[in-house]
Chains A and B, each alone.
Chain A
Amino acid sequence: MAARPLVSVFSLTGDKSGEATLPAVMTAPLRPDIVQFVHTNMNKNNRQAYAVSIRAGKQVSASSWGTGRAVARIPRVGGGGTSRSGQGAFGNMCRGGRMFNPTKTWRKWHKKINTTQKRYAVASALAATAVPALVMARGHRVDEVPEIPLVLDNAVESTKKTSVAKDILAAVGALADVEKAADSKQIRSGKGKMRNRRYTLRRGPLIIYSNNDGVEQAFRNLPGVELCNVDRLNLLQLAPGGHMGRFCIWSKSALEALDTIYGEDGKRIPAVPMVNA
């Protein structure tokens, strides 16, 4: 790619306070298919196993009555004196029988994904966070943001109080997205609400820093806001739902660190397959 453009760095009061070069990763090819594939598989990696009991439906001593008694040949519960006697047992079609193909805990719950594919997806997702159209298409309210990608001074990493954090976001135009998340809190529809997943919330901005000097604790209580260290970027946060274009707020050192992480000595940036003549 040609000379890389400059990105403005903003101070915590919203004024422009410097410039940084756009990292090379932001010019990686945008590949929604790879991002979606890697995301669906990565999403399966924190699943907990479920299965029916191994003895479910089998704890009966039932045997078939054979032919000649004008009943179907399914095994039937023996004995007498209760309505259960004579009922069909064992089959998946029987009431109280074991299910077809009982679920087992040794199902392959986690998915292995090639490392190159995972890195490609993260690079693509990072590139998408720098395109305002994609961030808006994903649903983030970024109309008031002065620039995308949004880079703040390193002082943001030393914020200690949430009230200060909220003021910073307001000064920089990012509060609209946080408010969207806050307004969207609803009780989940479906059984998840009784299974410790009571509320659903939209995702707000993702704040990426390189040094945690209080950022995590200052920003984490704001609804929808997520935090990420630049060394450990997570595709599930960069492309929630498999859709590229999360609204990311960078600290200056985090943005500059990207050039080291994805550079000659670091991870390879995917090559663009076609360049316009």
Chain B
Amino acid sequence: MVQCSDALVWELTKNNTSFMRKVNGKTKRSGTVRFSVEKGNVKNISSYKYSGLANSKTVDVSATDDNRAALSTKSSKASTQPSKGQPVTPLNKSFRRVEKTITSQVADNNYRPDLKADALARYSAIYAGNRVAKGVKKSVPVKKGRGKAE
């Protein structure tokens, strides 16, 4: 494995990666927000703290194909082995039990305690999305605003 420290990888990838999405920034009033959609980025924000590429320890909660969720972390032993380097924990139980799983995997074993709140927030969003997809909950139709000449 090449000794490429987290900070070095961040310096090399902070300005361009294939995962970076820049939004807004086209007017004087709006600033550009930089998103980054790689696996391993729990908030999808392009910054050192959240980067899924630069950090050797990452946390991510994603939705699986059958409308369930999975928690994936990065293994330090398998850093050069992409197919093995992301152990995945399925999150199929009730909301409260999953919440305990996430907390224990992320914070209680001191893996990435700074990402606990973000991981839980992401799980909440995925959970809500899964419920809509399964038909348990109906999605709220977007309300038409006032004063829009359509």
**A binding-site residues for B, Cβ under 8 Å:** 1, 5, 22, 26-27, 30, 32, 127, 130-134, 136-139, 142-149, 173, 243-244
Contacts and interface: CB of A to CB of B under 8 A. Distances in A.
Given A130-B2, A133-B53, A134-B13, A148 B18 contact: no
Question: In the complex, which of the residues B2, B17, B81 has the most CB atoms of chain A within 10 Å of its own CB atom?
Answer: B2
B82 A148 contact: yes
Given A1-B3, A30-B8, A244-B12, A132 B82 contact: yes
A147 B82 CA distance: 6
Nearest to B8: A30
A27 B9 contact: no
Interface of B: 1-4, 8-9, 12-13, 16-19, 38-39, 53-54, 79-86
A221 B38 CA distance: 30
B53 A127 contact: no
A145 B82 contact: yes
A57 to B, nearest CB: 40
A115 to B, nearest CB: 25
Contact of B4 (A133, A144, A145, A243): A133
Question: In the complex, which of the residues A130, A131, A142 has the most CB atoms of chain B within 10 Å of its own CB atom?
Answer: A131
A143 B82 contact: yes
A137 B4 CA distance: 14
B3 A27 contact: yes
30 contacts: A1-B3, A5-B1, A22-B2, A26-B2, A27-B2, A27-B3, A132-B85, A133-B4, A133-B13, A133-B53, A133-B54, A134-B12, A134-B13, A134-B53, A136-B18, A137-B12, A137-B16, A137-B53, A138-B18, A139-B17, A139-B18, A143-B82, A143-B86, A144-B83, A145-B83, A146-B84, A147-B81, A147-B82, A148-B80, A173-B83
Contacts of B39: 143
A120 to B, nearest CB: 16
By DSSP majority rule, is chain B's interface helix, strand, loop, or mixed?
Answer: loop
Contacts of A143: 39, 82-83, 86
Contacts of B8: 30
Contacts of B17: 137-139
A131 B83 contact: no
Nearest to B19: A137
Given A142-B82, A144-B82, A32 B12 contact: yes
Contacts of A173: 83
A127 B2 contact: yes
Contact of A147 (B3, B19, B80): B80
Given A145-B83, A146-B81, 15 more contacts: A1-B3, A5-B1, A27-B3, A127-B2, A130-B80, A131-B4, A132-B80, A132-B82, A133-B4, A134-B4, A134-B53, A143-B39, A146-B82, A147-B81, A148-B80
Nearest to B79: A132
Contacts of A26: 2
Question: In the complex, which of the residues A132, A148, A173 has the most CB atoms of chain B within 10 Å of its own CB atom?
Answer: A132
Nearest to B17: A137
A11 to B, nearest CB: 16
Contacts of B54: 133
Contacts of A244: 12
A146 B85 CA distance: 9
Contacts of A144: 82-83
Contacts of B81: 146-148
Contacts of A148: 80-82
B116 to A, nearest CB: 24
Contacts of B79: 132
